[in-house]
C-alpha cells in the first residue's frame, strides 16, 4: 500500500471521529430538547436506487431515482425530506423501440435554458447489455413538472453502456458513462457538442483491475460523478462491483484542475474504496451516488443508495444522504455510511 492510500485510511478514520462527535453526540444531547424538524433520518426514499439530486438556481431541489418503467420527478425545498415534495411521473417509455424497457439511473440537468433528463434504457424485444444505451429527453418549460418531454434519442456512444453523467467545467460540457467492453464495464469521457451530441473519439479512462471492482463474471465501474474540490484537484467518483454485491462501494479518480480531462494520463486512481459497506451500521452495498450542496451552499452532501441487510440481490436499495468534509489537501472525506438509526442535522440554510 503506497503512502497516498495510507494517508487516505488515516483521513477516513479522522472523518469517522468527526461524524461520531458532531452528528451522533450532538443529537444525543439535543433529543427532546430542540426542534425535531432540525434533524432527519435515512432513508429518504425506501425505493430509491440510483438517486440523483439537482440543485437549481430557483433554490429548489429536483430529485430522481430508478423506477424501471417510468421517470418520476420530485421538486422540493430540501432533498432530505421528500414527503411534502411536489412529485409527478413525467415520462413513460414507448411500447416498442430501443428505449422501451429497463429505465434506469435518470439524471436531470438544466442546460442553456432547457431541462434535460439522461437515462439508461434498452429494447424490450431484445433485452440485454448490448442493446443498453443512454438516452436523452428535453423540456423547454421553466418548470420541468409541466410541459412536454421531447425524445431526442440515444447518445451516440461508441459502445453500449449505462449511467450517463453530464457536467460543465470551465465553460465546456462533458459526458461520462460506463461502457460495456467485453465482460467489463469501465469509464469513458467525451466532450459534448450539444446536450445530446458528443465528440468522437471519446477517451477510455479506466477499466476494472482491483478485486473490489470485480464480482463473479462481471467486472464493473459505473455511476461516474464529477466533483470539484476546494484545492487544485477534481475527482470522478464511481461505483464498483455490482448492485447485488454487499461490497458494492465507491472508488475515485483524481486529476489536477488545469489538466486535460480527456487525457487518461491526467487521472490517478485510488487502489482502495473511498466509501464502502459498514456492517456495524447495517449498511451494505452503498453506492451509485451524486453530490449536492446545502441550500446556503456551505455544506457538501453525498446522496447514495444502500441496503439495510446483507443479500445477493439488487432489491432493497434505499435513497440516503449525509454530509462530508474535505481534508487539508482538498480531497473528500466521505467517512462511513451512517446507520438508519442515526439522527442527522438537516442541511444548513433551511
* Burial grade of 124 (CB within 10 A; 0-12, 13-18, 19 or more): middle
Distance, CA of 308 to CA of 329 (rounded, Å): 33
C-alpha cell at 320: 440516503
* Sign of the torsion angle spanned by Cα atoms 326, 331, 335, 337: positive
Beta carbons within 8 Å of 138's beta carbon, 6+ residues apart: 114, 115, 116, 149, 150, 152, 195, 196
Cα dihedral: 203, 206, 208, 212 (round 10): -140
Peptide bond connecting 201 to the previous residue in cis, omega within 30 degrees of 0: yes
DSSP letter (8 states) at residue 8: H
* Burial grade of 182 (CB within 10 A; 0-12, 13-18, 19 or more): exposed
**Which region holds residue 236: left if phi is over 0, alpha if psi is between -120 and 50, else beta?**
beta
Is 296 among the catalytic positions?
no
Among the listed residues 163, 165, 213, 222, the single catalytic one is 222
- Rg from Cα positions in the chain: 19
Is 327 among the catalytic positions?
no
Distance, CA of 200 to CA of 214 (rounded, Å): 29
Peptide bond connecting 105 to the previous residue in cis, omega within 30 degrees of 0: no
* Residues β-bridged to residue 187: 206
Catalytic residue ranges: 50, 222
Amino acid at each position: 500500500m503506497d503512502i497516498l492510500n495510507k494517508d487516505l485510511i488515516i483521513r477516513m478514520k479522522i472523518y469517522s471521529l468527526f461524524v461520531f462527535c458532531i452528528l451522533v453526540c450532538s443529537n444525543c444531547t439535543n433529543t427532546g430538547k430542540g426542534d425535531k424538524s432540525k434533524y432527519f433520518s435515512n432513508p429518504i426514499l425506501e425505493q430509491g436506487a440510483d438517486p440523483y439530486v439537482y440543485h437549481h438556481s430557483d433554490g429548489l431541489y429536483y430529485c430522481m431515482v430508478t423506477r424501471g418503467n417510468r421517470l418520476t420527478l420530485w421538486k422540493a425545498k430540501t432533498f432530505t425530506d421528500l414527503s411534502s415534495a411536489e412529485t409527478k411521473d413525467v415520462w413513460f417509455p414507448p411500447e416498442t423501440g430501443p428505449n422501451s424497457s429497463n429505465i434506469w439511473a435518470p439524471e436531470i440537468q438544466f442546460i442553456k435554458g432547457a431541462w434535460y433528463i439522461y437515462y439508461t434504457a434498452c429494447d424490450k424485444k431484445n433485452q440485454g447489455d448490448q442493446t443498453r444505451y443512454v438516452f436523452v429527453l428535453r423540456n423547454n418549460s421553466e418548470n420541468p413538472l409541466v410541459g412536454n418531454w421531447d425524445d431526442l434519442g440515444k447518445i451516440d456512444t461508441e459502445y453500449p453502456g449505462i449511467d450517463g453523467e453530464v457536467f460543465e467545467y470551465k465553460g465546456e460540457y462533458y459526458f461520462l458513462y460506463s461502457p460495456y467492453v467485453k465482460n467489463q464495464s469501465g469509464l469513458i469521457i467525451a466532450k459534448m457538442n450539444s446536450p445530446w451530441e458528443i465528440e468522437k473519439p471519446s477517451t477510455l479512462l479506466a477499466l476494472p483491475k482491483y478485486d473490489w471492482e470485480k464480482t463473479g463474471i462481471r467486472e464493473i465501474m459505473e455511476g461516474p460523478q464529477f466533483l470539484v474540490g476546494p484545492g487544485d484537484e477534481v475527482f470522478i467518483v464511481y461505483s464498483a462491483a455490482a448492485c447485488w454485491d454487499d461490497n458494492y462501494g465507491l472508488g475515485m479518480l483524481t486529476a489536477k484542475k488545469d489538466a486535460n480531462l480527456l487525457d487518461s494520463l491526467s487521472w490517478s486512481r485510488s487502489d482502495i474504496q473511498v466509501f464502502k459497506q459498514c456492517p456495524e451500521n447495517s449498511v451494505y452495498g452503498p453506492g451509485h451516488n451524486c453530490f449536492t450542496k446545502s441550500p446556503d451552499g456551505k455544506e457538501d452532501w453525498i446522496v447514495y443508495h444502500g441496503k439495510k441487510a446483507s443479500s445477493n440481490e439488487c432489491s432493497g436499495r434505499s435513497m440516503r444522504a449525509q454530509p462530508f468534509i474535505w481534508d487539508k489537501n482538498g480531497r473528500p472525506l466521505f467517512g462511513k455510511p451512517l446507520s438508519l438509526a442515526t439522527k442527522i442535522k438537516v442541511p444548513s440554510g433551511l
